[in-house]
Chains A and B, each alone.
Chain A
Amino acid sequence: MTIQKTLAGTSLTVAPEGRLDTITSPQLESELRADMNAVTNLVFDLANLTYISSAGLRVILSAQKAMNKKGTMVLRNVRPEIMEIFEITGFSSILTIE
Chain B
Amino acid sequence: MQTKKTISGTFLKWLLLIVGVAFAVSMVFSWTLQTRLSEKSAHNLLRLNIADVRQDVIDASDANLLALTRDIASEIDAGAPADEAGLLALTARHDVAEINIIDADGIIISTTHPDFLNYDMRSGTQSAEFTGLLDGTVREHVQSYQPTSYDPTLLRKYAGVCLEGGGFVEVAYDAERFQRDIDHQIVGVTRNRHVGENGCIVIADENWSIVSDRNRNEGKNLVATGIWIDRDTMAEGDVFTATVYGVESSCMYVFSEGYYIIAVLPENEILLQRDTSVSLTAVLEVLVFLTLFGVIFLLVRKLVVNNLNRVNNSLSKITDGDLDEQVNVRSNTEFASLSDDINATVGTLKQYIAAAAARIDRELAFAKNIQQSALPSVFPPYPDRKDLNLFATMDTAKEVGGDFYDFYFLEENKLALLIADVSGKGIPAAMFMMTGKTVLRDYAERGDAPSVAAFNANNKLCEGNDAEMFITAWLGYLETDTGLVRFANAGHNPPVLIRDGRACFIAQKADLTLAAMEGVPYREQTLQLAPGDLLFLYTDGVTEAADAAGELFGNNRLLAALSRRFGSGEAAVRAVCGTVKEAVGTFAGETPQADDITMLCLYYAGNNALTVTAKTTELPAVTGFVNRALEGLGCPEKTTAQIDIAVEEIFANIANYAYSGEPGEVTVRVRGEDSAAVIEFRDRGFAFDPLEKPDPDVTLPAEEREPGGLGIFMVKKSMDGVTYQRENDENVLTIRKNFAK
Contacts and interface: CB of A to CB of B under 8 A. Distances in A.
A18 to B, nearest CB: 12
A17 B681 CA distance: 29
Contacts of A4: none
A22 B652 CA distance: 7
Interface of A: 21-23, 51-55, 57-58, 61-62, 64-65, 68, 81, 85, 88-91, 93-94
B619 interface: yes
Contacts of B713: 89
A54 B716 CA distance: 13
B703 A90 contact: no
Contacts of B236: none
B33 interface: no
Given A22-B616, A81-B638, A88-B714, A61 B702 contact: yes
Given A22-B616, A51-B641, A53-B649, 14 more contacts: A21-B648, A22-B619, A22-B648, A22-B652, A23-B616, A23-B620, A53-B648, A53-B711, A54-B652, A68-B703, A81-B641, A85-B645, A89-B713, A89-B714
Contacts of A62: 707
Given A21-B619, A22-B652, A23-B619, A54 B714 contact: yes
Contacts of A93: 698-699
Contact of A65 (B620, B702, B714): B702
B705 interface: yes
Q: Which of B702, B711, B718 has the most CB of A within 10 A?
A: B702
Interface residues of B, number: 26
Judged by DSSP, the binding face of A is helix
A33 B104 CA distance: 222
A71 B619 CA distance: 35
Interface of B: 616-617, 619-620, 638, 641, 644-645, 648-649, 652, 655, 698-703, 705, 707, 710-711, 713-714, 717-718
A89 B710 contact: yes
Contacts of A21: 619, 648
A24 to B, nearest CB: 10
Contacts of B638: 81
B711 A54 contact: yes
Contacts of A94: 701-702, 705
A85 B705 contact: no
Contacts of B698: 89-91, 93
Contacts of A61: 702, 705, 707
7 contacts: A22-B616, A22-B652, A23-B620, A51-B645, A53-B649, A54-B649, A68-B702
B643 to A, nearest CB: 12
Contacts of B616: 22-23
Contacts of B645: 51-53, 85
Nearest to B710: A54
Contacts of B617: 23
Given A53-B652, A65-B702, A85 B620 contact: no
Contacts of A88: 714, 717-718
Given A54-B711, A61-B707, A90 B649 contact: no
B710 A58 contact: yes
Contacts of A57: 710
B707 A58 contact: yes
A94 B655 CA distance: 29
B699 A90 contact: yes
A9 B695 CA distance: 40
A51 B643 CA distance: 12
Contacts of A81: 638, 641
A22 B649 CA distance: 8
A58 B705 CA distance: 10
